[in-house]
Structure 1
Amino acid sequence: MSKINFQKEIWEGWTIEDFIRELEPQLSAIQSGRSWHPPIATKKELKEWCKQNQPYYKKTIPEVVQYFSQKYNLK
């Protein structure tokens, strides 16, 4: 796996790290069963969820998907 450049700017000053920080609490609640949303089971589901829930930028950010798929061991 390639190393993630967390400082890479994606949109108007927002970096990969910013998007991860923004999504992390919500995704953590989902994955631990503390949300109305069922836990995400696949990388494809994760990709869609990230795209829909990240602020401002509604395109897939591969590094964000990679980070969370590694963290939650999604294939």
Structure 2
Amino acid sequence: MSDILAGIDRAISVGVDILSMSLGGSSAPYYHDTITIGAFSAVVKEILVSCSVGNNGPCRASLANVAPWIMTGSG
């Protein structure tokens, strides 16, 4: 998980405008979710963050990546 944060930090440091990540998993509280934490750091720097929606459950049509600062969509 620290590799994900390091990648996001690197992208921020080189000045990207958009972060598009096809990463996901089950939902977790924001303070335990690496993607959510990294995405928040990017959004604070005015970088748009887009992640795959993830649809692994626990029930049909439930979503992961539900942080309001992450743009999500299904492919």
Task: Give the TM-score range, shorter chain.
Answer: 0.3 to 0.5
TM-score by length of 2: 0.33
More helix by share: 1
More strand by share: 2
TM-score by length of 1: 0.33
Query: Quick one: higher RCO (CA 8 Å, sep 6+), 1 or 2?
Result: 2
